[in-house]
Structure 1
């Protein structure tokens, strides 16, 4: 009997959520004919794969520009806008680096980060756990957004005008605090309420 595992596959951060022919072909190579693929709101594809084939699959996927992440209580890959004004102007390199640093980290409850390259906020950063908006040469960091439920709310600005390094460090610290102090299955917004906004600010 095969031991299958669920894997989240992401096409990488670029101009919109797109899969090219090479990526589609390598996906088809590893998927049985009758299998299903689940598309999530975080621009990820959930697939099931034989555990014994996982390492080879991951290598082949990486060669095709696909990224693989664990499914469950982890930081999701960064949801992004379409970078319609250009990669450099809207900070695509910063988004790519931020995703590399945080995606796939274990946390008490799935953590959803989002990034957008201008104040239009097409990547919906204000309704996600961690949201980043690029404004001119700086980055504003929002936390505590929640898109679903009767307690849905927009995030609050936590830091403004950050440099890329300040952004990375601040997000790293927030995730470390959540991982160390959050309760199992505690949504990030509820953790913020319980831990206290002032306490979070004091840790910076």
Structure 2
């Protein structure tokens, strides 16, 4: 490989399932594309960062997908959905909804890295209240929180913006919030700061189902 060739960083994980796990085949295909002397970076958001030559990005991504791995861009994008471990089962805790939501939003370009999180019950193992967008399944509906921030002295809890949503209502609301943020947010403006500037009630009034 040309040592001067540009490298592209990819975020990789095993997708949404019972816990954040990788199998032997997945670990093996990741290792195949690690350059000697380089290391994997394990993030706090259930992702691994790996750098690959720009000319091989699509080839590597296809190999990862064949092994059951999910790939996402790194930078100012919506991160893949952080989830709980679905300890009570896929259907009871809404794993299909989490998978669908992730497919709809992960990788969308935004003014600043946006971290969504999902948990299948009020115990909140997926930490939805300290992430930009948080979803909590409560009984048969989905409660939606926004504006959480978990770092430093300015850490704050997310604010409940809609509750007891159906899956379709949830998808629509989250996509709408992200689209508004993408359109009106300033460069490198975190979502919680955008909400403070744009106005929580202003944002809420633009969501379908708000009365």
- TM-score by length of structure 1 reads 0.98
1:173 aligned partner? 176
Superposed CA offset, 1:49-84 (max 9, x none): 011111111111011111111110000000000000
Match of 1:35 among 31, 34, 38: 38
In the TM superposition, what are the counterparts of 1:60-99 in structure 2 within 5 Å?
60-99=63-102
Aligned equivalents of 2:159, 2:6: Cα separation in 1: 43
Q: Distance in 1 between matches of 2:185 and 2:7?
A: 30
For structure 1, the residue ranges without an aligned partner over 5 or more in a row are none
TM-score by length of 2: 0.95
Provide Cα deviations, 1:90-147, integer angstroms capped at 9, x if missing partner: 0000000000000010000000000000000000000000000001110000000000
Matched pairs, number: 204
Mapping for residues 69-148 of structure 1, pairs under 5 Å: 69-148=72-151
Q: After TM superposition, what 4+ stretches of structure 1 lie above 6 angstroms from structure 2?
A: none
- For the residues of structure 1 that align with 2:106 and 2:72, how far apart are their CA atoms? 7
1:11 aligns with 2:14: yes
Q: Any conservation in 1 of the 2:111–2:189 contact (CA below 8 Å)?
A: yes
Q: Please list every run of 5 or more consecutive structure 2 residues that lacks an aligned counterpart in the other structure.
A: none
SS at structure 2 position matched to 1:150 = helix
SS for the counterpart of 2:62 is: helix
